[in-house]
Chain A
Amino acid sequence: MKAPAFTYHRVETVAQSLERLRQFADTGKVIAGGQTLMPILNLRMAAPEHLIDVSRLSELREVRRDGSHWRVGAGVTHAMIEDDRIADFTKGYLQQVAGGIAYRAIRNRGTVGGSLIHSDPSADWPCALLAIDAVAVVRGAGGEREVPLAEFQTGLMSCAIEPDELLVAVRIPQLSESASWAYQKFCRKVGEFAHSICAVVRDPEAKRANVVLGAVGDKPVRLPRLSDALARGLTIQDLASERLAETVQQDLVHAAQVKPGSYAYQLHHTMAMRALGKALQK
């Protein structure tokens, strides 16, 4: 199938893209890597009249240190991270996530920002960046505002961005020396959308402990009881305890709303246990 007709706009600066977005607030759509949008257009599941191409904005590819965080441009591609073309400030976490996204051809073009905006519940970045407490940086006519990832994705394929705003960067905390992480995902085959993801980031120095489940429900879910247990110094020996088994079950059933006894439950449970095991081993 072929996309319905649209007008294509290539912009050179963020200011220009904001101007176009204001102009076409109801009928325009931003395209970056196009790895999700193009198939959606070709399947005629979306029919914007105007496409605003931000893939050439150099500002969106910038990566720089910003206090305790790093500011990663929304236009940075998965492959740039996978290939170590940006600084590693997460002890290899981002690199592992990036290298496991879909296929290499998709990683060459697909962007971090595009993935967050698309807000697919099974995608990698919404889950991985939620686990590390990243913050979305959104620019509109009135300047920039910051939205913690926990508030950014609002539901299935929807996020907290206005039609005239552009996601310009993600602020990601630098991990301490003592931090550890794990990222486990289950796909039937390489490149497929995940059926379960569990991201664990533990950084005691920064008082950060998150266990996040992805490919579940409408959007990734932080598992509160497990995250608390992790914050309180969960050890690898605890993983075999009955108490932890109960905690996992409560989080899966109550926080993630997974039906006990289902295959999905088995899968999420396995990913969660494996991710915790890996994170605590490091």
Chain B
Amino acid sequence: MSEAKITGRGVGAALQRKEDKRHLHGRGRFVADMQMPGQLEVAFVRSAHAHGIIRAIEIPPEHIGRVFTAQDFPEVKPIVAVPKIDGFKYSEHPALATDRVRFAGEPIAMAIAETRGKAEDIADSVFVDVEELPAVVDMLEAVKPGSPLIREEWGDNVFVRRDNDYGDLEAAKRNAAVTVTREYRMNRQSPLPLEGRAILAYWDDRLEELVLYTGSQSPHQTRVGMAQVLGMPEGQLHLIVPDMGGGFGAKRVLYPEELMVAALAMKLKRPVRWIEDKREHILTAIHAREHHHKVTAYADAQGKILGLDVDLYVDAGAYSHWPNGPSMETGMASRNLPGPYTIPHYRCRTWTVATNKSAIGAYRGVARPAACFSIERTIDEVAYAVGRDPMQVRIENMVPADAMPYRSVTRLLFDGGDYAESVRRAAALVELDRIRATQREPREDGRLIGVGFASFTEQTAHGCGEWVSRGTPVIPGYESATARMMSDGSLQLMVGCVSHGQGLETTLSQIACETLGIDPMRVSVRHGDTQVSPFGMGTFASRSMVMSGGAVARACRLLKDKMAAIAAHLLHCEPQQLSFHDDAVHLADGRRVAFEEIGRIAHLRQEMLPAGVDPMLEVTTTYEPGIDTGLFTYATQAAVVAVDPLTGHVELVDYAVVEDCGTVINPLIVDGQIIGGVAQGIGTALYEEIPYSPEGQPLATTLADYLLPSASEIPAIKIAHMCTPTPHTEFGMKGMGEGGAIAPPAAIANAIRDALRAIDAEVNETPMTPQRVRAAIELAQAQRAPKTP
């Protein structure tokens, strides 16, 4: 029996998404489309203060019974997310604030009414008497002695301090010809998927279960956490994830709002719904990216980096979120900061800092955009310090192709590829030689042209060991699938991951096609329903294609064995003689048995089965990759910018991505993921920021103040692929969903630096707003100006 013949619609096929039909016709179904008879809408009463003690919650007498506070839910336990990491301090997160509020927007009470507008009227009428406390707003100030404290029992504002020492930094210092020191900062941003958080909960008396329609990237995991906090048996929680308008990590957290809507539906025994608006999302969903790195690089006279010394601060906000907690952000930044380079000595001291802001979480790219920003900016500065071309210095520092597989200084196992070649190809895509030939000529519009590169590795689909090292309470090291052939020969795949924009309904069908020889259009992928799918971990960490695709391949192969046994019995041959393609099992002589016939016999005509073969065609199995430290996709991104030196405005004139994610299952979907990721990375680089006032008030809470890039700001992105299949997965594929978002801040910052070389200005803080670019220019000009006596 050979592997199924490629029918042109399996692995590698540019199949159009099956999901497009419903979405392009506007027939997708999201939580906000759901209506239940007697449904009530929820509006939250939220803290107006960043930090304070709740003295009283006053509910107008006419609204008693329509407003609920923590006191109404004595059975609901606080959320506790304390990763098993030495020194990580214990804290509790009450879903509705009890005695203290720790960030502006924190939920305090919930109001219900027939419409959301009326619920907001009632919420507005609730008065919360708060005794204000000084707010902790800046992470660098927060760690200083004498700072106000968010939790007095901690004695400081640090969730966890960790130092990581690799090699011998003193040796690097002794041998260094140049030393480059910089501070890099990424400001706080919001994930902002098109669809915000949403939940509809109702008690089903017939099944005795609480049904929860919710936008969740990992419904099975959320069920585990919800059952613990609500004190309910897991079997009574039925989570259903309908269509979702994106997640990007924002929908993989056990949120207070979702818990309380569930608890309220239990209490009232009526359908209750909460649809988050954009303001609530920007205020209270997880935030991302707020890092401050102090980096010193020691290099030889050629720019070869000998050692890196880093102080790494992450502003984690007020609470530790379940399941991951905030130290994952710090840990990933620390491990990934040395980048795709052969840096022998590395020290990283880290602070995961609590402030009076919303909790930081894992937004697409997770920590690596900041790590990439720091190392890629530093590579360029080292190159300038030794008077060499950054592209060349970058290539010379990279792990060479012949050193693969390579164990990095932080013990990450890079499984393969040619990193330097990705830089050269990216340079060719943006026509570097042509730009270099013309960029010093003055332009009529006065703008300056610059080119910047950023390279990175993207750890994807990490397994058991990696998650154990992070101390998370759930170890998402595997994924699951059920493959069920129906009696008409069509196939259903039930998977534990969730497709919320990734096109998994299409790509998992392609895996089934590749493995079984079935028409992908005869495959139905079901996901996101805890009663339908086997237990699974969900969609995050660039893992679904590797993990869930692997589980589907394995399940289909097990199914195939049984189908082959049935077909061999019917054709009077050995299973090894059979081949699978075009929805049938074939013998070399032209005889065949259609899947439809096999399905019919397995379910409806037991007497035709071979002896010892049980009826039905259904397999449930799990899968994990051959190594559990992750598969390393890598890429180089190149940005070409035009900087207006008078206004500081930056326009992206060209952008190229060269990436290697091993075997590509569907090139349309891979390219779509890259483009979407780069768009979000451009947001980090140039636009998105939630500044805070000294009192801890967020200053961007609507899309008028919080700028998102839109089509006008995103150039046509040039994409080229390299392909180094990994030996550790099915088909040699690696994850790639986050990579697009990792490098844009670094590539664009390096391009701005290149454009401003004559002025010698650099911008080391995101977003690189016109004002920050102008400030950098003015600073450089002031430093160059001859000192007047």
Bound CA span A39–B704, Å: 10
Stretch at the interface among B114-122, B585-593, B597-605: B114-122
Is residue A267 contacting chain B, with contact meaning CB distance below 8 A? yes
Is residue A190 contacting chain B, with contact meaning CB distance below 8 A? yes
Is residue B277 contacting chain A, with contact meaning CB distance below 8 A? yes
Is residue B712 contacting chain A, with contact meaning CB distance below 8 A? yes
Q: B646 contacts A189, CB within 8 Å?
A: no
Q: B117 contacts A4, CB within 8 Å?
A: yes
B673-721 at interface with A (beta carbon < 8 Å):
686-687, 702, 704, 707, 709-710, 712-713
Return the CB mask of A247-282 against B: 1 if under 8 Å, else 0. 000000000000000010011001000000000000
Q: A263 contacts B713, CB within 8 Å?
A: no
Return the CB mask of A1-30 against B: 1 if under 8 Å, else 0. 111110000000000000000000000000
Return the CB mask of B111-134 against A: 1 if under 8 Å, else 0. 000011110110010000000000
Q: A266 contacts B774, CB within 8 Å?
A: yes
Q: Which of A3, A43, A191, A270 contacts B710 (CB 8 A)?
A: A191
Q: Which of A2, A4, A191, A266 contacts B646 (CB 8 A)?
A: A266
Bound CA span A200–B118, Å: 48
Q: Which of A2, A189, A267, A270 contacts B707 (CB 8 A)?
A: A189
Report B-chain residues with C-beta under 8 Å of the C-beta of A5. 117-118, 121
Q: A192 contacts B707, CB within 8 Å?
A: yes
Report A-chain residues with C-beta under 8 Å of the C-beta of B709. 189
Report A-chain residues with C-beta under 8 Å of the C-beta of B707. 188-189, 192
Q: A4 contacts B710, CB within 8 Å?
A: no
A71 to chain B, nearest CB (A): 32
Report A-chain residues with C-beta under 8 Å of the C-beta of B124. 44
Is residue A89 contacting chain B, with contact meaning CB distance below 8 A? no
With A1-B277, A2-B115, A263-B775 already in contact, the answer to whether A186 and B647 are too (CB < 8 A) is yes
A1 to chain B, nearest CB (A): 6
Bound CA span A44–B120, Å: 10
Q: B710 contacts A189, CB within 8 Å?
A: yes
Bound CA span A272–B769, Å: 21
Is residue B770 contacting chain A, with contact meaning CB distance below 8 A? yes
Nearest residue, chain A, Cβ from B124: A44
Report A-chain residues with C-beta under 8 Å of the C-beta of B704. 39, 193
Report B-chain residues with C-beta under 8 Å of the C-beta of A186. 647, 649, 770
Report B-chain residues with C-beta under 8 Å of the C-beta of A43. 279, 702
Is residue B783 contacting chain A, with contact meaning CB distance below 8 A? no
With A263-B774, A266-B774 already in contact, the answer to whether A4 and B713 are too (CB < 8 A) is no
Bound CA span A4–B709, Å: 31
Nearest residue, chain B, Cβ from A42: B277
Bound CA span A4–B125, Å: 13
Bound CA span A5–B771, Å: 41
Bound CA span A192–B117, Å: 28
B291 to chain A, nearest CB (A): 22
Q: A267 contacts B710, CB within 8 Å?
A: no
Residue of B648, B687, B709, B769 with highest tally of chain A CB at under 10 A: B648
Q: Which of B116, B120, B647, B771 contacts A270 (CB 8 A)?
A: B647
Return the CB mask of A165-199 against B: 1 if under 8 Å, else 0. 00000000000000000000010111111000000
With A1-B277, A4-B121, A44-B120 already in contact, the answer to whether A189 and B774 are too (CB < 8 A) is no
Nearest residue, chain A, Cβ from B713: A189
Q: A270 contacts B713, CB within 8 Å?
A: no
A269 to chain B, nearest CB (A): 8
B87-122 at interface with A (beta carbon < 8 Å):
115-118, 120-121
Nearest residue, chain B, Cβ from A264: B771
Report B-chain residues with C-beta under 8 Å of the C-beta of A267. 647, 770
B743-789 at interface with A (beta carbon < 8 Å):
769-771, 774-775
Return the CB mask of A31-62 against B: 1 if under 8 Å, else 0. 00000000100011000000000000000000
Report A-chain residues with C-beta under 8 Å of the C-beta of B120. 1-2, 4, 44
Residue of A43, A44, A263 with highest tally of chain B CB at under 10 A: A263
B240-299 at interface with A (beta carbon < 8 Å):
277, 279
Report B-chain residues with C-beta under 8 Å of the C-beta of A191. 710, 712
Report B-chain residues with C-beta under 8 Å of the C-beta of A266. 646-647, 774
Q: B702 contacts A190, CB within 8 Å?
A: no
Report B-chain residues with C-beta under 8 Å of the C-beta of A4. 117, 120-121
Report A-chain residues with C-beta under 8 Å of the C-beta of B775. 263
Bound CA span A2–B707, Å: 22
Q: Which of A2, A3, A39, A188 contacts B649 (CB 8 A)?
A: A188
B209 to chain A, nearest CB (A): 31
Report A-chain residues with C-beta under 8 Å of the C-beta of B774. 263, 266
Nearest residue, chain A, Cβ from B767: A188
Report A-chain residues with C-beta under 8 Å of the C-beta of B118. 5
A33 to chain B, nearest CB (A): 17
Report A-chain residues with C-beta under 8 Å of the C-beta of B713. 189-190
Additional pairs, 20, CB under 8 Å, beyond known A5-B117, A5-B121, A263-B770: A2-B115, A2-B116, A4-B121, A5-B118, A44-B124, A186-B647, A186-B649, A188-B687, A189-B687, A189-B707, A189-B710, A190-B712, A190-B713, A191-B710, A191-B712, A263-B648, A266-B646, A266-B647, A266-B774, A270-B647
Q: Would you mind naming 6 contact pairs between A and B with Cβ atoms under 8 Å apart? A: A2-B117, A39-B702, A186-B770, A189-B709, A191-B710, A192-B707
Pick the 3 closest A-B CB pairs, nearest first. Answer: A2-B117, A190-B712, A270-B646
Q: Which residues of A contact B (CB under 8 A)?
A: 1-5, 39, 43-44, 186, 188-193, 263, 266-267, 270
Q: Which residues of B contact A (CB under 8 A)?
A: 115-118, 120-121, 124, 277, 279, 646-649, 686-687, 702, 704, 707, 709-710, 712-713, 769-771, 774-775
